[in-house]
Structure 1
Amino acid sequence: MSTAVKTKWNIDTAHSEIIFKVKHMMISTVTGHFEDFNATAETDNEGFIGADFHFTAKTASINTKNGDRDKHLRSDDFFNAELFPEILFTSRSFDGSTLVGDLTIRDVTGEIQLDADFNGIVVDPYGQTKAGFEMSGSINRKDFNLAWSAITETGSIVVSDTVKLTAFLQFIKEQ
């Protein structure tokens, strides 16, 4: 019995972005992303069915375009970037439209499910083979010990529990 050879794909960070959105005061949305991240995929087919995806992001690289808020997010109220420097994701399954895997934030690992659009494979003008994906889903931040909360004088929650995740990923086929 022969085993299919797997092709490795590395993230093209110049053409990829990992974004999160969370409601603030329940009237507006704050958007952020991670500046320092890495991802790989390994697959034995052109549709990436059953591919193994791995992702890491440096928690200290969080960027919401507000220095005070970013410092708070790096603190123990949220990510504790000093003690837990990375967010990790390892896939369990990919059927072409749904990516299921284990997400680790702080010291908690939980299964998440992301809707995934595989946008295909192309060869760029420099001869590199690239594959593109768009993925989205949401998590409850409190499930991952991101439990800081506050209530305003009028009773509004400062930060919602639901965090929306969106990833625009472009991978380069390893030569």
Structure 2
Amino acid sequence: MAINWNIDPAHSEIQFKVKHLMITTVTGYFKNFDLNVETENEDFSTIKKLKFTAEVDSIDTNNAQRDAHLKSADFFNAEEHSQLRFVGNKYVADGDDAKLHGELTIKGITRPVTVNVEYGGIVVDPYGQTKAGFTVSGKISRKEFGLTWNAVTEAGSVVVSDEIKIHAEVQLVKQAVIVAAA
């Protein structure tokens, strides 16, 4: 028996942060994303499958000109690479904290990535839906995924840092139980 969990997009957000001119941080979001998790039971240490996707065209940094630049060939090249994808392959829990290991694909380049996961628990909402909550955080090198555009200021500082911080608040909704054929 397996349990399928889908993301509740109204109660979830996928965020990234990057240093600009190495003095401030710019925050961006993916507005369109999907996550499906299959577990053996309600204990998430039994994750069998995990697949996350985000639509590159849904990037929002609260600045239309910057968003267009991020979607261009200088960065994500949304025209050729419309999604980024993370496929989890190992979940190691230690109490309410865990490490999620998987393969992240951005701009056609796949690399292993490990993120930190804080398990918030399971509750039944006022509508009878069983929900599970998580906070996910991690860091990646954008250059490892072919996101290499940069510029240098007159003083020699880079415009965009290599390190990207990832933060997600995720709420999953339990779906119908899947009964495996014998």
Match of 2:12 among 16, 20, 29: 16
- Displacement of 1:50 in angstroms is 3.6
**Residues 12-59 of structure 1: CA deviation (Å, up to 9, x unaligned):** 000000000000000000000101100011101322014121100000
What corresponds to 1:40 in structure 2? Answer: 36
What corresponds to 1:28 in structure 2? Answer: 24
Query: Aligned with 1:134: secondary structure?
Result: strand
Give yes or no for contact 1:19–1:167 (8 Å, CA) kept in 2.
yes
Bigger strand fraction: 2
What corresponds to 1:77 in structure 2? Answer: 74
Matched, 1:136 2:137: yes
What percent of counterpart residues are identical?
51
Match of 1:68 among 56, 65, 87: 65
Give yes or no for contact 1:129–1:172 (8 Å, CA) kept in 2.
yes
Distance in 2 separating the partners of 1:159 and 1:53: 31
- Displacement of 1:104 in angstroms is 0.2
What corresponds to 2:153 in structure 1? Answer: 152
Matching residue's letter, 1:36 = N
- Displacement of 1:95 in angstroms is 1.5
Query: Aligned with 1:95: secondary structure?
Result: strand
Give yes or no for contact 2:3–2:42 (8 Å, CA) kept in 1.
no
Q: CA RMSD in A?
A: 0.7
**Residues 118-166 of structure 1: CA deviation (Å, up to 9, x unaligned):** 1111000000000001010000000000000110111111000000001
Give yes or no for contact 1:39–1:53 (8 Å, CA) kept in 2.
yes
Distance in 2 separating the partners of 1:50 and 1:109: 24
Matching residue's letter, 1:47 = D
Matching residue's letter, 2:79 = E
Matched, 1:53 2:50: yes
Query: How many residues align structurally?
Result: 171
- Give the alignment's TM-score, normalised by structure 1: 0.96
**Which ranges of structure 2 fall in alignment gaps of 5 or more residues?**
177-182
